[in-house]
A = this chain, B = another copy of it.
Amino acid sequence: MQFAGSHILSVHQFERADVERIFTVADRMEPYAQRRRITRVLEGAILGSMFFEPSTRTRVSFGSAFNLLGGEVRETTGFESTAIAKGESLYDTARVLSGYSDVIAMRHPAEGSVGEFAAASRVPVINGGDGSNEHPSQALLDLYTIKSEIAGRGRGIDQLRIAMVGDLRYGRTVHSLCKLLCLFDQLQVVLVSPGELRMPGEIVEQMRRAGLEVVESEQLEASIAHVDIVYSTRIQEERFSTQEEADLYRGRFRLNQSIYTHHCEPNTVIMHPLPRDSRDNAQELDDDLNDNPNLAIFRQADNGVLVRMALFALILDVVDQVDQHARDVNWYTARRF
């Protein structure tokens, strides 16, 4: 695809070469994200960060990514008392607000709303999550993490074995990740969930048509025995009508250090889109995994900054200028690990 000036709305708009291009650019952002270097390539540019629905980490990740490229961020959070409540159409909102920035990152609770907004926007829009529909930068950072974690083993994404665990029915991140995986070859995917929270059939079908080997299971231990990656998810209790119904599922597939040691191959990578639920009755990833070097969940969050920097650099077409506007960091950064 042509990145310059494009909206980023869905994982469906990417071909394999596009994903690989994003990852190549993300790799080049590492010195800046890790504060060894700074770049001012987007000095003077403005990101419009519009979160019609709260999401601290996604919002701050986008904002910091733009700051790391030298740009400014103007934010809007919570739209209850604003123009939309007074009957303004999303078209008008988009026409007006897109006049105030050079690129927009937007989250909205309604499916399809970000696409509708983008159609009226005068600047590129990145979908930061529209209801249960799409969240492409999350899927990209998940796949980028998979690539990074296994790169040191001389392997690529093709032929990997991945277990996805938990709420596969409502979990937007696993849906988008599965769609991206379809761009790669000979992967084996094990889907572990309660029967009621199975991956939607059309996504399973889509993966099989794309040549992936897909197995569904309700049993954790056997399913994670022969995989390279365990991707765990939170039971989205807010999707259930009662707390009791949610509690039926929360805590059903807990991974802890003991299970990991007894069942997983050495160096199996553990991922999670975060937040993980650390309350006693949940603990889908136990705290005792925190010292496990294969727990990649915080590197995964860090990778979000790299991927979002890459998206900004690509759609604003400054990839080749980033290093020209760079210099060394002049403050103390030694605590970072």
Interface residues of A (CB under 8 A from B): 4-5, 35, 38-46, 48, 54-57, 60-61, 63-64, 67-68, 70, 72-76, 79, 81-83, 86-89, 91-93, 95-97, 99-102, 122-124, 234, 237-238, 274-279, 282, 287, 290, 297-298, 301-302, 305, 315-318, 321, 329-337
Contacts and interface: CB of A to CB of B under 8 A. Distances in A.
B301 A330 contact: no
A61 B99 CA distance: 9
A91 B337 CA distance: 15
B278 A87 contact: yes
Contact of A82 (B40, B48, B55): B55
B298 A95 contact: yes
Nearest to A35: B102
A30 to B, nearest CB: 13
Nearest to A42: B331
Given A88-B276, A122-B335, A332-B4, A74 B73 contact: yes
Closest 6 CB pairs of A and B: A38-B44, A88-B275, A87-B277, A83-B275, A317-B332, A89-B278
Given A46-B67, A74-B67, A60 B100 contact: yes
A46 B64 contact: yes
Most chain B beta carbons < 10 A, residue from A302, A333, A335: A335
B277 A335 contact: no
